Structure 1
Amino acid sequence: MLTDSLLDVLRGFASLCPSRLQQPPLVGFKEFHDFLLHSILLNPHFQQYPPSKQYQASFWKWAIGLLERLVTEERAEPSRKEDEIDGRIYERMTSLVIRPSVGKVSGLDPPEESYVTYIWKTDPSVSGTLGPGLANATLMESRTLIESGTTGLKTWTAALVLAHYLTEHPELIRKKRILELGSGVGFLGIVIATLQLHSCDNEVSGTRDALFLTDVNDAVLRRCQENVRLPCNRSSQHASVGFRSLDWTDAMDSATRPAVLSALLCDMDPDVIVGADVVYDPDIIAPLVCTLSTALESGKLTGSGGAVAYIALTVRNEETLALFLEAAGTYSRVV
């Protein structure tokens, strides 16, 4: 079992946390060295789903610097057995040295796409990809703010916050039909699917467990599906995950609203609607709220009861947030 400080390093490496923000673990040379060797360098998960080479070069520079400092300090102690850094660690660092191509300026190339793994603690009896008591969501993500004309190819902070809230309150999504608006690359969907499966490990699976992930961008939705179905993610074992294209503006168009309503009622019939970082422009507030209202009312019409919505937002503009809160304020089941 990893100490909390080593778990923080593991999480930082897996999620591409900048090395300058990594805190040195509160352990000695041998424990840190063996952790780096076995939990990171030789870890089958990171061999199959590695962080980008750009990030790894930065991480290993930081880690080797810390190892060299620790070994120097410990060698100064009387009767201390001399420790050495495993050559494979140096070899890994050397293999990551990138020589800039002719005509390119080193350090100015855009960051490359990368696997990113988010880790959270779970029941110690659960054996995850990264060890007992650890659950993970692994995704291929863009490392730029905008790629292919969309911001949907990376995970944003609001999704991390909402995911943390749900891991603390899994009963909110247990044995429920979940609709996510603006699913992006699938992080929140992976977490929800994993939590639903964990809740069923020691009990009979609920027949209402289902998850519908939606987005308007086809490329984003394809990436979402690929990430959810990665074998390393528990979500790949969920039997009821659907992927749907959903344009919120359809809910405002009298010609298309019946089709949107039919899809939400007859197929999805959600108990819970979730959305993270979905309010980024004043122009999308009316379509979003109209879609939310349609989904929230669906349970009444199908006889399953009213739905509830959990929306997490990043405050980029106070006026935009105020507009959304005012528009959504008429719906008491939006949290």
Structure 2
Amino acid sequence: MEHCDQSQTSDRETLNKTDVLRDFQVSFFAMSRLVSFPWTFLEKELESNKSSDLILDILKQTCLHSLCRKFPPSVRFRRLFLSELIRREAAGCDPLDELYDALAEVVGAEDTTECYKSYILPGGDAVSLLENVALISEGTTGLVTWEAALYLAEWALDHQQVFTGRTVLELGSGVGLTGVTICRSCSPNRFVFSDCHSSVLHKLRSNVQLNGLTEPTVSVEEMDWTAATEERIKRIGPDVVIAADVVYDPDVVGSLVKLLSKILSCSSAEVFICSTIRNQETYGGFKQQLETAGISHHVMTGAVSHVFPYNRASSIELIQLYT
């Protein structure tokens, strides 16, 4: 019985370490806020065991991982992350050469306005995107990944049958997180990314190519919501239309609702809109305009699998539209 108890304890410790290493990896490549990392587990482990093995394992899953060589997070982020590791190591165990070698690589390196973020999928593959460091740049918010896009991607992973074998049109694709995740995991027959800002489209095309997605299965199109015609929508022939974080500016809500009305009137597409509700007045105005246009909506309830790291305290709502 004693041997059995020891074995179960060992299994729990192994599971915990595996989970913690994955948490470090997922958070590191998505450039999550450093306070969200599982530092407490590391500190407790170093208190009970003065070995630097766990720190080396963390390094192997982050800065020394092949994904970091290919698609590195920002220099500043890596520098701060390594400094946090060194602070814990200095208090708990012998110096680790690999840790200081990794820091030496980034200490003199120059920061850039762009960096890679990688979002680890459940199977272990990663969606890697080139994003801007600043939240707003070149007059647009479309050069970074926002929370509603992450939520919608998680919902898609839980509801792959909605997209499998179908033609999907995404409005306001941004840097491409949701669409690339769907293309990589849900086997759509065709996927059309769209946006209207030239800088966003340039980065979107790069990210689509970066993730190995090619025409004719996948395409990136410029789409001005005020100019999109029913003929163009029919030519695309969407079975599913999705959009994430497109309801944030009252000035564009009217053109979005008009486009959604055209889509619903000239196709039989299922339409899903995912929004982070930052301003209740703006979001309420969007729903009011939908109602005025004769468009009803249904709030999609139920939890989604936690795949990507982001602030889950945010108010995010996914709705399906219909007439």
TM-score by length of 1: 0.76
Q: CA deviation at 1:292?
A: 1.2
Highest relative contact order (Cα 8 Å, sep 6+), 1 or 2? 2
Does the 8 A contact of 2:225 with 2:259 survive in 1? yes
Q: Look up the match of 2:41.
A: 26
- CA deviations 1:202-225 (Å, max 9, x no partner) are xxxxxx711000101122111101
Correspondence list, 1:88-107, <5 A: 88-98=98-108
Matched, 1:245 2:245: no
Measure the CA separation in 1 of the matches of 2:107 and 2:77.
11
Match of residue 3 from structure 1: 18
The residue that corresponds to 1:51 in the other structure is 73
Which of residues 145, 148, 152 is equivalent to 1:162?
152
Partner amino acid for 1:90?
Answer: Y
1:315 corresponds to: 277
Change (3 A) 1:16 1:149: same
Q: Name 2:171's counterpart in structure 1.
A: 181
Counterpart residue type for residue 331 of structure 1 = I
Q: Does 1:191 align with 2:181?
A: yes
Please tell me whether the aligned partners of residues 178 and 211 of structure 1 are also in contact (alpha carbons under 8 angstroms). yes
Structure 2: tracts of 5 or more residues without a match = 1-14, 46-50, 298-318
Are 2:82 and 1:113 aligned?
A: no
Shift of 1:161: 1.1
Q: Report the counterpart of residue 79 of structure 1 in structure 2.
A: none
Residues in 2 aligned to 1:229 and 1:21: alpha-carbon distance in whole angstroms? 31
Instruction: Give the secondary structure class of the aligned counterpart of 2:127.
Output: strand
% identical aligned pairs: 31
Q: Secondary structure at the match of 1:153?
A: coil
Cα distance in 2 for residues equivalent to 1:135 and 1:238: 21
How far apart, in 1, do the equivalents of 2:80 and 2:31 lie? 10
Give the number of aligned pairs.
275
**Within 1, Cα distance between the matches of 2:95 and 2:65?**
18
Q: Which residue of 2 aligns with 1:254?
A: none
Contact 1:6 1:25 in 2 (8 A): no
Unaligned runs of 5+ in 1: 72-83, 101-108, 122-132, 198-207, 252-259, 300-305
* Structure 1 equivalent of residue 310 of structure 2: none
Q: Is the 8 A contact 1:33 1:85 kept in 2?
A: no
Deviations 1:104-124 (A, max 9, x none): xxxxx9x73110111131xxx
User: Match for residue 257 of structure 1?
Assistant: none
Do the aligned partners of 2:24 and 2:61 also contact (CA within 8 Å) in 1? no
